[in-house]
Amino acid sequence: MSDYRRITIAQAGSHTGESVEIAGWLYNLRKSGKIIFPLIRDGSGIMQCVGLKSSLSEECFEALKNLTQESSVIIRGKCRAEQRAPGGFEMDIESAEIVQRVPEETPYPITPKDHGIEFLFDHRHLHLRSRRQHAILKIRHEIIKAIRDYFDSNGFTLVDCPIFTPAACEGTTTLFEVDYFEDEKVYLTQSGQLYNEATAMAFGKTYCFGPTFRAEKSKTRRHLTEFWMVEPEMAFATLDDVKQHAEELICFIVGRVLDNRKTELGALERDISKLEAIKTPFPRISYDEAVEILRRKGSEIVWGGDFGGTDETLLSEEFDRPVMVDKYPTQVKAFYFQPDEQRPEVALGVDVIASEGYGEVIGGGQRIHDYNLLLQRIQEHNLPPEAFQWYLDLRRFGSVPHAGFGMGVERTVAWLCGLEHIRETIAFPRMLYRTRP
Ligand code: 4AD
Ligand code: MG
Distances (CA, A) of 313 to 254, 317, 405, 412: 20, 7, 21, 15
Residue 322 CB–ligand 1 contact under 6 Å:
no
Distance in Å, CA 326 to ligand 1 centroid: 16
Distance in Å, CA 231 to ligand 1 centroid: 9
Q: What is the pLDDT of residue 113?
A: 84
Q: What is the pLDDT of residue 183?
A: 86
Ligand 1, pocket-test mutation among 307, 316, 411, most atoms within 8 A of CB: 411
User: How far apart (Å, rounded) are the C-alpha atoms in residues 320 and 423?
Assistant: 25
Distance in Å, CA 333 to ligand 2 centroid: 8
Distance in Å, CA 370 to ligand 1 centroid: 24
The domain ranges of the chain are 5-100, 125-425
- Taking residues 238-258, report their average pLDDT: 98
- The protein residue with its alpha carbon nearest to ligand 1, atom 5, reads 406
User: How far apart (Å, rounded) are the C-alpha atoms in residues 408 and 231?
Assistant: 9
User: How far apart (Å, rounded) are the C-alpha atoms in residues 79 and 13?
Assistant: 8
Question: Is-contact 41 82, C-beta < 8 A?
Answer: no
Q: Is 241 exposed, middle or buried (0-12, 13-18, 19+ CB in 10 A)?
A: buried
Whether pLDDT at 169 is above 90: no
- Digit-coded pLDDT (tens) for 338-355: 999 999 999 999 999 999
- The protein residue with its alpha carbon nearest to ligand 1, atom 4, reads 363
Residue 362 CB–ligand 1 contact under 6 Å:
yes
Look at residues 361, 282, 272, 355 and name the one whose alpha carbon lies nearest to residue 314: 355
Q: What is the pLDDT of residue 167?
A: 87
Residue 408 CB–ligand 1 contact under 6 Å:
yes
- The protein residue with its alpha carbon nearest to ligand 1, atom 7, reads 406
Residues paired with 337 in a beta bridge:
367
Q: Which residue has the higher pLDDT, 235 or 171?
A: 235
- Digit-coded pLDDT (tens) for 279-295: 999 999 999 999 999 99
- Digit-coded pLDDT (tens) for 201-224: 999 999 999 999 999 888 899 999
Distance in Å, CA 214 to ligand 1 centroid: 9
Look at residues 94, 118, 86 and name the one whose alpha carbon lies nearest to residue 12: 86
Distance in Å, CA 360 to ligand 2 centroid: 7
Confidence at 409, pLDDT banded by 50, 70, 90: very high
Residue 404 CB–ligand 1 contact under 6 Å:
yes
- Taking residues 180-208, report their average pLDDT: 96
Q: Are strands 5-6 and 19-32 parallel, antiparallel or unpaired?
A: parallel
Question: Is-contact 129 148, C-beta < 8 A?
Answer: no
Residue 335 CB–ligand 1 contact under 6 Å:
no
Distances (CA, A) of 228 to 211, 219, 248, 251: 4, 18, 20, 19
Q: What is the pLDDT of residue 87?
A: 84
Residue 360 CB–ligand 1 contact under 6 Å:
yes
- Taking residues 68-91, report their average pLDDT: 95
For the CA of 169, the nearest atom of ligand 1: 8
CATH homologous superfamily, domain 5-100? Nucleic acid-binding proteins (2.40.50.140)
SS3 state at 47: strand
Alpha helices in 85-162 (DSSP H): 117-122, 124-127, 131-152
SS3 state at 30: strand
Ligand 1, pocket-test mutation among 191, 193, 209, 410, most atoms within 8 A of CB: 191
- As a whole number, the mean pLDDT across the chain is 96
SS3 state at 104: coil
Whether pLDDT at 132 is above 90: yes
- Taking residues 267-287, report their average pLDDT: 97
CATH level 3 topology of 125-425: BirA Bifunctional Protein; domain 2 (3.30.930)
Q: Which residue has the higher pLDDT, 46 or 1?
A: 46
User: How far apart (Å, rounded) are the C-alpha atoms in residues 38 and 25?
Assistant: 10
- The protein residue with its alpha carbon nearest to ligand 1, atom 1, reads 363
Distance in Å, CA 33 to ligand 1 centroid: 57
Q: What DSSP line would sit under 392-413, residue for residue?
A: HHTTTSS---EEEEEEEHHHHH
User: How far apart (Å, rounded) are the C-alpha atoms in residues 369 and 193?
Assistant: 14
- Taking residues 189-209, report their average pLDDT: 98
- Taking residues 9-37, report their average pLDDT: 96
Distance in Å, CA 368 to ligand 1 centroid: 19
